[in-house]
Structure 1
């Protein structure tokens, strides 16, 4: 049983990491806003939480700044800080938290700009399908 539980855990982690990576990629590529400093796109990332502890994350500078300023590099720190704070609120189970960590991200979306919307729509569509597929694979592996 312990071996089975470990397999289920790692399969779940891999699926949730895949979803997180896809959401980050989509949000960064589909963003319809002018990101002058690169901070908003660089603040996009995710944490994967199990029972309140972060077990995986992705916050990397992927966007070069178009201007030189003291704010450059702030995006990653803001994104990771927000995700870590949200992760601290998670209780039992798994949670995938995808964020755009700059304080003005929500404001940008109210201007009909896409910050996380395309990633959220993709996740709403794909997550149920991917999780059902995972359940089916786990069931077939354990009882065949």
Structure 2
């Protein structure tokens, strides 16, 4: 007979399973949100870039990777600009962007990290000339991420209670 007249109709495994399922839902929601932010940042950076991209390489080198515990779980690097000067087979912008993002991803082995890059080696120089390569995307992320994560936290607490 139970000590206080109550008897649980569930076991430790049931509690563990429920918590694991809830944690998985939170991880999935966080991944979807971070992927959305990554896509938006790439779109903004490519569309609002205020530089003259003659070869298309700089704009094509813009992309992102989403990293979870050191593993890349999502990425976006695709050709968006074709140059009349450089052949369409030249994917150096995409390749440079991916290489840089993957190199940076190796430095983060715990938690979630969203890495947005302009992979061409001269991207920083172009930004130093007061041209917008990633500035608009960074401002967007700095504005949106805290708000979106705050909303997610509210939803988590609402469902948990």
Structures share a fold, TM > 0.5? Answer: yes
Q: How many Å apart are 1:90 and its aligned residue?
A: 0.2
Q: How many Å apart are 1:66 and its aligned residue?
A: 2.9
Q: 2:157 aligns with which of 130, 139, 144?
A: 139
The residue correspondences of 1:60-99 to structure 2 (distance < 5 A) are 60-69=78-87, 72-99=90-117
Question: Is the Cα–Cα contact under 8 Å of residues 96 and 119 in structure 2 kept in the other structure?
Answer: yes
Q: Where does residue 120 of structure 1 map in the other structure? A: 138
Cα separation, 1, equivalents of 2:121 and 2:110: 28
* Per-residue CA distance 1:30-84 (angstroms, 9 max, x = gap): 0000101111000000000011110111111111113134983100000000000
Cα separation, 1, equivalents of 2:88 and 2:26: 45
List alignment gaps of at least 5 residues for structure 1. Answer: none
* Per-residue CA distance 1:79-120 (angstroms, 9 max, x = gap): 000000000000210000000000000000001100000000
Larger RCO (CA within 8 A; separation ≥ 6): 1
Cα separation, 2, equivalents of 1:114 and 1:78: 19
Partner-residue secondary structure (3-state), 2:81:
coil
Larger radius of gyration: 2
Question: Is the Cα–Cα contact under 8 Å of residues 82 and 88 in structure 2 kept in the other structure?
Answer: no
Q: Tell whether 2:27 aligns with 1:9.
A: yes
Q: Tell whether 2:51 aligns with 1:39.
A: no
List alignment gaps of at least 5 residues for structure 2. Answer: 1-18
Question: Is the Cα–Cα contact under 8 Å of residues 38 and 72 in structure 1 kept in the other structure?
Answer: no
TM-score under structure 2 length normalisation:
0.85
Q: Where does residue 55 of structure 1 map in the other structure? A: 73
CA-based RMSD: 1.3
Q: Tell whether 2:44 aligns with 1:26.
A: yes
Partner-residue secondary structure (3-state), 1:62:
coil
- 4+ residue runs of structure 1 moved beyond 3 angstroms? none
